[in-house]
Structure 1
Amino acid sequence: MHSLKELDQTEGTVQLRSSTSAEIILHPTPSSTNPNDPLRWPRWKKHIAFSSVCAFTFLANYGIGGLSPAFYGLSIEFHKTQSETSALLLWPILVLGLFNFFWVPVANYFGKRPVFVFASLLLCVCYIWGACAQSFESLLWSNIVAAFAGSSTEALGAAIVSDLYFLHERGAKMGIYMNAISGGNTVGPLICGFVVQSIGWRWHKWISVIFTAVNFFVVAFFCPETRYDRDGTQNLTTSSAMSLSSDEEQGVVEKTASQGAKEGPSSLVSQAITVPKKTWRQEISLWSGTPTDTSLVKLFIRPFPLLVYPAVIFAFLGYAVALAWVVAINILNSFVLQAPPYNWGPSINGLINIPGLLGNIFGAFAGGWLVDRYSDWRAKRNGGVFQPETRLTLLIIPTLLVPAGCLLFGYGVQQTLNWTSLFFGYGMVAVGLTAVPTITMTYVSDCYLPVAPDALLLVNGLKNIVAFGFLYGVVPWVTKAGYVNTFGTQAGVFVAIMALAIPLASFGERIRHKTGQWRIIL
Structure 2
Amino acid sequence: MAFGILEDNKLSHVPGTSLLEDQVQDNNGVSAPTNSTAHLKHASGKNSDIILIPQPSDDPNDPLNWSILRRDICFAIFAFGYVMNVGVCGPILAAGTLEVAADLNVTITAVATATGYQLLAIAASGPLISALSRIYGKRPQFLIASMFGVVGTIVCCVARTYNTLLAGRILQGFGGVAYESIVISVIGDLYYLHERGLRLAVFNFCFGAINCFTSVISGPITKSLGWHWVFYIAMIFVALQAILVVLFTTETTYVRDAKYDIDVAGEEIFDDMEKIGGSQYIENKGDVSNAENERIVSKRKTYLQSIKPYHGRVSTENPLRLIVRPFAVLLNPAIVWIVLAMSIPLAWIVNINYCVAQLYGVEPYNLPADKVGFMSAGPLVGGFLASLFFFIANNPMTLWISRKNGYIFEPEFKLPVGSILGTIYLTIGCFGFGTAYRHRQSPVVASVMYGFVCAGSTTMAIASSSYMIDAYRDLSVEIIIAAMSTKNFIFYGFSYFFNNWVASSGPDVVFDVLGAIAIFTSLIITIPLYMYGKRIRSWWHRAHLLKRLKLA
Q: Is the 8 A contact 1:98 1:462 kept in 2?
A: no
Residues 1:413 and 2:437 aligned together: yes
Q: Deviations over 1:251-296 (max 9, x none)?
A: xxxxxxxxxxxxxxxxxxxxx9612111111111122111454232
| 2:20 paired residue number | 16
Q: Deviations over 1:102-157 (max 9, x none)?
A: 21211221121111112112201111110110101211221121011101111210
Q: How does 1:185-224 map to 2 (within 5 A)?
A: 185-224=211-250
Q: Distance in 2 between matches of 1:183 and 1:206?
A: 22
| 2:292 paired residue number | none
Residues 1:497 and 2:521 aligned together: yes
Q: How does 1:164-203 map to 2 (within 5 A)?
A: 164-203=190-229
Q: Is the 8 A contact 2:431 2:508 kept in 1?
A: yes
Residues 1:34 and 2:38 aligned together: no
Q: Is the 8 A contact 1:371 1:439 kept in 2?
A: no
Give the % identical residues.
26
Residues 1:452 and 2:476 aligned together: yes
| 2:488 paired residue number | 464
| 1:397 paired residue number | 421
Match of 1:148 among 159, 174, 191: 174
Shift in CA distance, 98/372, structure 1 to aligned 2, threshold 3 Å: farther
Q: Distance in 1 between matches of 2:382 and 2:328?
A: 35
Residues 1:509 and 2:534 aligned together: yes
| 2:379 paired residue number | 356
Amino acid at match of 1:391: K
Range 426-435 or range 231-240, more displaced: 231-240
Q: Is the 8 A contact 2:109 2:495 kept in 1?
A: no
Q: Work out the number of aligned pairs and report it.
A: 485
Q: Is the 8 A contact 1:52 1:215 kept in 2?
A: yes
Alpha-carbon shift at residue 471 of structure 1 (Å): 4.7
| 1:163 paired residue number | 189
Give the secondary-structure state (helix, strand or coil) at the position aligned to 2:545: strand
| 1:436 paired residue number | 460
Q: Distance in 2 between matches of 1:464 and 1:171?
A: 26
| 2:75 paired residue number | 50
| 2:319 paired residue number | 296
Give the secondary-structure state (helix, strand or coil) at the position aligned to 2:297: coil
Q: Distance in 2 between matches of 1:78 and 1:223?
A: 40
| 1:108 paired residue number | 134
Match of 1:230 among 243, 253, 256: 256
Q: Distance in 1 between matches of 2:191 and 2:495?
A: 35
Shift in CA distance, 79/489, structure 1 to aligned 2, threshold 3 Å: same
Q: Distance in 1 between matches of 2:342 and 2:278?
A: 42
| 2:368 paired residue number | 345
Give the secondary-structure state (helix, strand or coil) at the position aligned to 1:508: helix
Unaligned runs of 5+ in 2: 1-11, 24-31, 34-46, 263-269, 280-294, 547-551
Alpha-carbon shift at residue 94 of structure 1 (Å): 2.6
Amino acid at match of 2:368: G
Give the secondary-structure state (helix, strand or coil) at the position aligned to 2:542: coil
Amino acid at match of 2:110: E
TM-score (norm 1): 0.89
Q: Distance in 2 between matches of 1:438 and 1:94?
A: 24
| 1:336 paired residue number | 359
Alpha-carbon shift at residue 423 of structure 1 (Å): 1.1
Alpha-carbon shift at residue 508 of structure 1 (Å): 1.6
Q: How does 1:481-492 map to 2 (within 5 A)?
A: 481-492=505-516
| 1:312 paired residue number | 335
Amino acid at match of 1:281: L
TM-score (norm 2): 0.84
Match of 1:321 among 326, 344, 349: 344
Q: Distance in 2 between matches of 1:85 and 1:221?
A: 36
Q: Distance in 2 between matches of 1:183 and 1:88?
A: 22
Give the secondary-structure state (helix, strand or coil) at the position aligned to 2:364: coil
Give the secondary-structure state (helix, strand or coil) at the position aligned to 2:490: helix
Q: Deviations over 1:379-420 (max 9, x none)?
A: 010111100001001110010111211111101122211222
Unaligned runs of 5+ in 1: 1-7, 243-271
Alpha-carbon shift at residue 470 of structure 1 (Å): 4.1
Alpha-carbon shift at residue 450 of structure 1 (Å): 2.2
Shift in CA distance, 153/380, structure 1 to aligned 2, threshold 3 Å: same
Q: Distance in 2 between matches of 1:279 and 1:156?
A: 25
Alpha-carbon shift at residue 204 of structure 1 (Å): 0.7
